[in-house]
Amino acid sequence: MILDEKFAPIRKGLLEFILLKIIATEKVYAADILKQLSATEFATQEGTLYPLLSKMRREELLDYDWKESEAGPPRKYYELTAKGRAQLRETSEYWQKINETLKQFGQK
Amino acid sequence: MNKVITVNLNGNAYQLEESGYEALRVYLDGAAAKLAGNPDREEIISDIEQAIADKLRALLGPYKNVAATAQVQAIIAEMGPVDTGAGTPVNEPPPREKAGATGPAPGPAPAAPAKRLYRLHDGSMISGVCNGIAAYFNLDPTIVRLAFVIGAMLTGGVGMVAYLVMAVVIPLASTAEEKDAARGAPPFTAQEFIRRARAGYYDSMKGFPDRQSRRAWKRKFKEDMRAWSRSFKWQAHLDTCAAQSHWHNYWAEHPFMEAGWGIALPFLTLFNAALAIGFIIVIISLLTNGTLIGQAPPSGLPVWLTIVLLLIAYNFIVWPIKAARHAFYRHGLCGARPGPRVFISLWDTFVWIAFVSVLLWLALTHLPEVQAAVSNIPVVFHEAKDNLHQWWSHH
């Protein structure tokens, strides 16, 4: 797919926005996130996800607590910080604006 | 039989086959190198280790903890390359079908690439047509070549034309991917492993900020490479030895062989040589006057067929001697004390070659019968060709 390849940088850029959206709805752990992404165009692998989550935590957009899981060792459950929620709001607005602009082009 | 290595993945103990362990180590080392300078490096690595451990647990279930190499490779493929997110956007889209399976259902092992007919130059004789066909159908290239030669002889040149057409029409496999496609699913060989590791190596190099750490990484990589290729070679060597072990065991059980090998071997060799000379004499007598040293061969049997039957009989007689000699070599190469044995086997080979070549030379220069026999070879060859041709057109 040529489009797939062409839009790879854009998808990559949007990944952070999508993570903010996913984590905003509920506390999730990494495998949950990957599962939600897997059926979409934004399918991601651990190799990409973990560095990005760490980066976002360093930017204080999200935080995690350890929680016991029924099987196996405790897991990191991520949630948004206040700063993360603010960022999500701003990004949503910005994305809306971009969409509007996109629609305007090509119309007479 | 594979060596198993126990690993500790973020506090979880797992056992991996050795080559799977190496693959995992390359992956994790590569990840660590790429994340050099990242303040969260330790944390990301431990996250990744935990994810691999989770996948292994899902794959193996609660009561099993030895993972096969293919399983480890599938997991690594599922994890995907560690992306520092710092600079260059990835060119390839994330493989969608592989990313999802983090739950109890393990992702399928990477599917075998589709096979395609290519000409293969690695180990080819002329243009790689037969080699490529052999790779496509998983045959021995020699069989395909023989089939081509016989076919060309029987069809009187049509086979040759077919070969030339194929040499022009079939594309040549030039890249590694094409060569893989020509062979179908590539086996996980040492070369393939090193190729992949090297790709990861150059990838990691980009992530290094300064020359110093680059150089250190380079040195470490080279050391690792050397160690790996040594261990692969050693493994291959051990496998060869193990495959020969039934011979080895058989002959090792006979103590007189053990004690008298040095004496016995040249005798075996001379016996073998005597048999070979006898065989040659029979062939010569057959070629010159059509008899088996005075005895007429069964009537109606053409000369060439008699020669083929004689060859089979000869090999049948000589086989135990060959086996004994091979067992000896194997013993010398695989046993604990190679020492003088290797020299004896060298010496033995030398004696054998010298003996046969001197005799052949003497026979050719001094015996008119031998010369007559040699000049008779083309006639017999033509007869064989005609017979085969007739047989072909009758059936």
Domain boundaries, given as residue ranges, for chain B: 4-112+187-243, 129-183, 248-394
Positions in chain A whose pLDDT score sits under 50: none
pLDDT of amino acid A61: 92
Compute the average pLDDT of residues B128-155: 80
pLDDT of amino acid B31: 86
Place of tokens 């300078």: B37
pLDDT of amino acid B108: 38
Nearest to B80 among A8, A48, A52 (CB): A48
- Is there a contact between B265 and B345 (Cβ–Cβ < 8 Å)? yes
Nearest Cα residue in chain B from A50: B44
- Is there a contact between B7 and B19 (Cβ–Cβ < 8 Å)? no
H-helix or E-strand containing A23?
A: helix A8-25
Contacts of B40 in chain A (CB under 8 A): 51, 54-55, 57-58
pLDDT tens digits for range B42-87: 888 888 888 888 888 888 776 676 788 888 888 888 888 887 765 4
Phi-psi region of B207 (alpha: psi -120 to 50; beta: other; left: phi over 0): alpha
Question: How far from chain centre, in Å, is Cα B182?
Answer: 16
Assess B384–A contact: CB distance below 8 Å, yes or no. no
Which ipTM was obtained for this model? 0.83
Task: Give chain B's mean pLDDT.
Answer: 71
Which tokens in the block code for residue B98? 């592989």
> CB-based contacts of B274: which residues, under 8 Å, 6+ apart?
none
Assess B28–A contact: CB distance below 8 Å, yes or no. no
> Which of the listed ranges B9-18, B181-190, B320-329 does the model predict with the highest average pLDDT?
B9-18
Comparing B287 with B103, the larger pLDDT belongs to B287
Identity at B78, one-letter amino acid code: E
CA-wise closest residue to B287 among B274, B273, B306, B301: B306
* Percentage with pLDDT > 90 across chain B: 0
The rounded distance, in Å, linking the Cα atoms of B198 and B208 is 16
Nearest to B48 among A4, A37, A50 (CB): A50
From residue B145, alpha-carbon distances to B112, B119, B133, B148 in Å are 27, 13, 10, 5
Contacts of A45 in chain B (CB under 8 A): 78-81, 94-95, 98-99
pLDDT of amino acid B204: 62
pLDDT at B381 over 60: yes
Three-state DSSP state, A65 = strand
Contacts of A50 in chain B (CB under 8 A): 44, 47-48, 51, 82
Contacts of B48 in chain A (CB under 8 A): 46-47, 50
DSSP string, B329-356: HHHHHHSS--HHHHHHHHHHHHHHHHHH
Assess A39–B contact: CB distance below 8 Å, yes or no. yes
Three-state DSSP state, B126 = coil
Confidence of residue B95 (pLDDT cuts 50, 70, 90): very low
Domains in chain A with CATH codes: 19-104 (1.10.10.10)
> Which of the listed ranges B58-62, B113-117, B329-333 does the model predict with the highest average pLDDT?
B58-62
Whether residue B102 and residue A51 make contact (CB cut-off 8 A), yes or no, is no
The region of weakest confidence among A70-79, B70-79, B167-176, B254-263 is B254-263
Nearest to B39 among A37, A47, A58 (CB): A58
pLDDT of amino acid B18: 82
Whether residue B43 and residue A8 make contact (CB cut-off 8 A), yes or no, is no
Choosing among B78, B84, B102, which should be mutated to test the A contact, i.e. which has the most A CBs within 10 A?
Answer: B102
Start-to-end CA span in chain B (Å): 48
> CB-based contacts of B52: which residues, under 8 Å, 6+ apart?
B9, B24, B75, B79
Whether residue A34 and residue B48 make contact (CB cut-off 8 A), yes or no, is no
pLDDT of amino acid B101: 36
From residue B282, alpha-carbon distances to B293, B310, B320, B361 in Å are 6, 9, 21, 17
Compute the average pLDDT of residues B175-180: 67
